[in-house]
Amino acid sequence: MGVPSRSIWRGGLIGAIAAIYVALVGLYTRFADLELVGEQITLGRLLLVAPALVAAYAVTRPRVVAGERRPVAFGRGVLAGMLTGLVTGAVFAAAVWFAEWFGTDRIREVFIQISDPLIAFLTFDKGVPAGLPILIALSVLGGTVGGLARTAPAQARAPLAVGTLAVLAMALLQRIIPIVFVELGFEADWLYAPSRGLTWFGAALVFVAAAGVNALWHRSGERTRERVRSTIQEAPAAKLGLLVVIIAVLAIMPLLLGTVISEVLGQVMIYVLLGIGLNIVVGYAGLLDLGYVAFFAFGAYTLGLLTGAFLNTTTGAAEPVLSGDLSFYVAIWIVALLAAGLGLLIGAPVLRLRGDYLAIVTLGLGEIVSIITASRWAQPLIGGPQGMRGVTKAEFAGFNFQDNPQHFYYLALAFVILALFISWRLAGSRIGRAWNAMREDEQVAEAMGVSTIRFKLLAFAMGGAIGSLGGALFAVNLGSLTPTSFELLVSITALAVVILGGLGSLPGVVVGALVLIGLPGLLREFEEYRLLIYGGALVAIMILRPQGLIPNVRRSRELHEEEVEQDAWGVAEPDDREAVAAVLPGGGLGVEREDLE
């Protein structure tokens, strides 16, 4: 099976457009000096290869012919990949040439990232046109690798891919892993060049180790793998052991990773809480809530007020009109209870709305809350644009949860475990079943005796309470609150966490938060491209894996409902009808007619 030439042209062009886009947003210049392996492989150069690689990988995908999946043959796949890379490289080189001819200064008036250093980087300091063949050659290389990655024999492909990805991951985590090594008392110099990427030796070692483990795992045969899997899944002792290991790892993680990464982990935990709460509303009950920031803000400010935070003013500090002096450990439960009440309040007016309408109304309600936090009207209570400071440090037995990120991590972890437990128990109960039924068919659930009003409100209340915990912890972590922390982006990020991980899936929420909050936090270099990466990740996930990274079994079925509809629902009916028609003379009504006459 070959690849149609149209496909190669199209894939190559799309690759070139992607490369030009990467150049326009300034990713090449930004990462030109970020060394991954040795001094030669920088992230910038990797990004030169990537568009052709991805395009070739897409072009050589298996094609469905007459209902049959046909993979592309090895040799033809590699050739198609090379050609795709050639198209990408040639078009991109032409664009670079054009930019040089037209004048980078004139282009920069519109696209501010286009500069002479960029052209120098793209032509490997050899200038136009001398450097362009290298650019094209790199694209061809990328395309070849892309073709190989898709069509090479499986037993070779998997270890190579795993090895490469391991090297890439280790190289990107160059700020973190050396710290861990030092904390553990090991030397890291042989693996990482000082404050740079992997050494060539280190990269080779990582590659061999990762590829070797993968190859062994595959060599060990299906039966061994199956045994390991079923032991983990079925034996209660193994399950318990796994849980103990996970908790132990979570517990010692901040000690190993140091304060900087612990702070990132604390942020992740806050979004895990938001995700767990939102997952109840969206994942379990199927109510699309775009105003979830309301609970986050409510939790943060309410905790501040209850624990005696004061307002920022131009002259110093002022007492809010309402203020408590409670301990964090009392206030947090009051916050959750009040937030459940707010959930009922927000839920009540939208009970009759579904789908898009519900989304728009909750979006509006969320905006109202974030506007109130910034308004002068609410200034006597929560400080308006200046916000509040002096939120409790929640000190407890020598732990300081505000100034010490490692300590804060433990506080957040405790609440995450609590929320996970509550959410997990609810999902497996009569309540979870009612939510499920309601999500699948609201009207039928109602007709079967499920009070949809009650369970919608319950979902809003539970989701609101858990989300407010995230807000309260956020307040403790920061110690001061300003309205800029409570904008629409919080709602969007929380929803992205839930969707990326897989709607209705608790492990999915954790993974989603790690990917969307943890990675950008760890890879500070990417901070300014955070939203670009969010967008890219979400688009890729929705196309490649719409059920999320770790899907809930039932939800992933729902997303494939259309196929199911064709496979199971739809087909059976006409068949049965035909069977009846074939046996009964004249079909159903025919009998009536005979009987009546």
Partner 1 sequence: MSANGTRLLELAGVAKHFGGLYALSGLDMYVDAGEIVSVIGPNGAGKSTMFNVATGLYPPDDGDVRFNGQSIVGLAPNRITKLGLARTFQTVHLFPNMTVLENAMVGQHCRGTSGVVGSVLRLPSTRREEDRIRERAKTALDFFGKRLSGYRQDQPAFALSYANRRRLEMARALATDPILIMLDEPTAGMNPRETLELRDHIVRMRDQLGITVLVIEHDMRVVKGVSDRVIALDYGRKIAEGTYDDVANDPQVIEAYLGTKAVG
Residue numbers 555-574 binding partner 1 by CB under 8 A: 555, 557-558, 561, 564, 568-569, 572-573
Asked if 234 is part of the footprint of partner 1 (rule: CB under 8 A), the reply reads no
| CA distance linking residue 262 with residue 412, whole number of Å | 11
CB of 550 to partner 1, least distance (A): 17
CB of 477 to partner 1, least distance (A): 26
Q: Is the peptide bond before 129 cis (omega within 30 degrees of 0)?
A: yes
Q: Is 246 exposed, middle or buried (0-12, 13-18, 19+ CB in 10 A)?
A: exposed
Comparing CA positions, the residue from 121, 104, 122 lying closest to residue 113 is 104
Asked if 577 is part of the footprint of partner 1 (rule: CB under 8 A), the reply reads yes
Part of the chain binding partner 1 (CB under 8 A), chosen from 64-72, 343-351, 480-488, 578-586: 578-586
| CA distance linking residue 590 with residue 597, whole number of Å | 11
Q: Are 459 and 439 in contact (CB under 8 A)?
A: no
Site for partner 1 (CB under 8 A): how many residues? 52
CB of 502 to partner 1, least distance (A): 14
Name the DSSP letter for residue 35.
E
- Nearer Cβ to partner 1 (225/454): 454
CB of 584 to partner 1, least distance (A): 7
Q: Which one among 429, 539, 542, 586 touches partner 1, defined by CB under 8 A? A: 429
- Note the residue count of the chain: 597
Comparing CA positions, the residue from 195, 198, 211, 118 lying closest to residue 160 is 211
- H/E element, 312: strand 310-313
Asked if 105 is part of the footprint of partner 1 (rule: CB under 8 A), the reply reads no
Q: Is 62 exposed, middle or buried (0-12, 13-18, 19+ CB in 10 A)?
A: middle
Amino acid making up residue 442: E
Q: Which one among 247, 327, 576, 586 touches partner 1, defined by CB under 8 A? A: 576
Asked if 580 is part of the footprint of partner 1 (rule: CB under 8 A), the reply reads yes
Asked if 69 is part of the footprint of partner 1 (rule: CB under 8 A), the reply reads no
Asked if 583 is part of the footprint of partner 1 (rule: CB under 8 A), the reply reads yes
Q: Which one among 105, 319, 403, 441 touches partner 1, defined by CB under 8 A? A: 441
Q: Which one among 140, 437, 457, 459 touches partner 1, defined by CB under 8 A? A: 437
Asked if 348 is part of the footprint of partner 1 (rule: CB under 8 A), the reply reads no
CB of 349 to partner 1, least distance (A): 18
b/e code 440-468 from CB counts within 10 Å (16+ = b) = eebeebeeeebebeebbbbbbbbbbbbbb
CB of 566 to partner 1, least distance (A): 11
- Nearer Cβ to partner 1 (504/520): 504
CB of 555 to partner 1, least distance (A): 8
- Nearer Cβ to partner 1 (367/446): 446
Part of the chain binding partner 1 (CB under 8 A), chosen from 39-47, 216-224, 533-541, 552-560: 552-560
Q: Which one among 18, 148, 388, 431 touches partner 1, defined by CB under 8 A? A: 431
Part of the chain binding partner 1 (CB under 8 A), chosen from 72-80, 133-141, 376-384, 433-441: 433-441
Alpha-carbon distances, residue 26 vs 88, 95, 271, 370 (angstroms): 19, 15, 29, 33
| CA distance linking residue 102 with residue 97, whole number of Å | 8
List strand residue ranges (DSSP E) for 29-173, in order: 35-37, 41-42, 63-65, 68-70
Residue numbers 384-423 binding partner 1 by CB under 8 A: 421-422
Asked if 236 is part of the footprint of partner 1 (rule: CB under 8 A), the reply reads no
- Beta carbons within 8 Å of 59's beta carbon, 6+ residues apart: 3, 7, 8, 10, 11, 12, 80, 81, 84, 146, 147
| CA distance linking residue 588 with residue 594, whole number of Å | 11
- Beta carbons within 8 Å of 558's beta carbon, 6+ residues apart: 440
CB of 447 to partner 1, least distance (A): 5
Q: Is 4 left (phi over 0), alpha (psi -120 to 50) or beta?
A: beta
Asked if 440 is part of the footprint of partner 1 (rule: CB under 8 A), the reply reads yes
Q: How many CB atoms lie within 10 A of CB 331?
A: 22
| CA distance linking residue 135 with residue 442, whole number of Å | 57
Site string for partner 1, 442-481 (x = CB under 8 A): -xxxxxxxxxxx----x---x-------------------
Q: Are 82 and 147 in contact (CB under 8 A)?
A: yes
Comparing CA positions, the residue from 181, 142, 173 lying closest to residue 526 is 173
CA 24 to the chain's CA centroid: 25
> What residue has token string 């894996």?
545
Part of the chain binding partner 1 (CB under 8 A), chosen from 10-18, 39-47, 131-139, 577-585: 577-585
Q: Are 298 and 338 in contact (CB under 8 A)?
A: yes
Asked if 554 is part of the footprint of partner 1 (rule: CB under 8 A), the reply reads yes
- Nearer Cβ to partner 1 (528/592): 592
CB of 161 to partner 1, least distance (A): 33
- Nearer Cβ to partner 1 (361/418): 418
Asked if 426 is part of the footprint of partner 1 (rule: CB under 8 A), the reply reads yes
CB of 122 to partner 1, least distance (A): 50
CB of 435 to partner 1, least distance (A): 11
CB of 336 to partner 1, least distance (A): 12
CB of 392 to partner 1, least distance (A): 27
CB of 572 to partner 1, least distance (A): 4
Asked if 363 is part of the footprint of partner 1 (rule: CB under 8 A), the reply reads no
| CA distance linking residue 586 with residue 595, whole number of Å | 13
Asked if 597 is part of the footprint of partner 1 (rule: CB under 8 A), the reply reads yes
Query: What does the binding site for partner 1 look like in residue numbers (CB under 8 A)?
Result: 421-422, 425-426, 429-434, 436-437, 440-441, 443-453, 458, 462, 554-555, 557-558, 561, 564, 568-569, 572-573, 575-577, 579-580, 583-584, 588-589, 591-593, 595-597
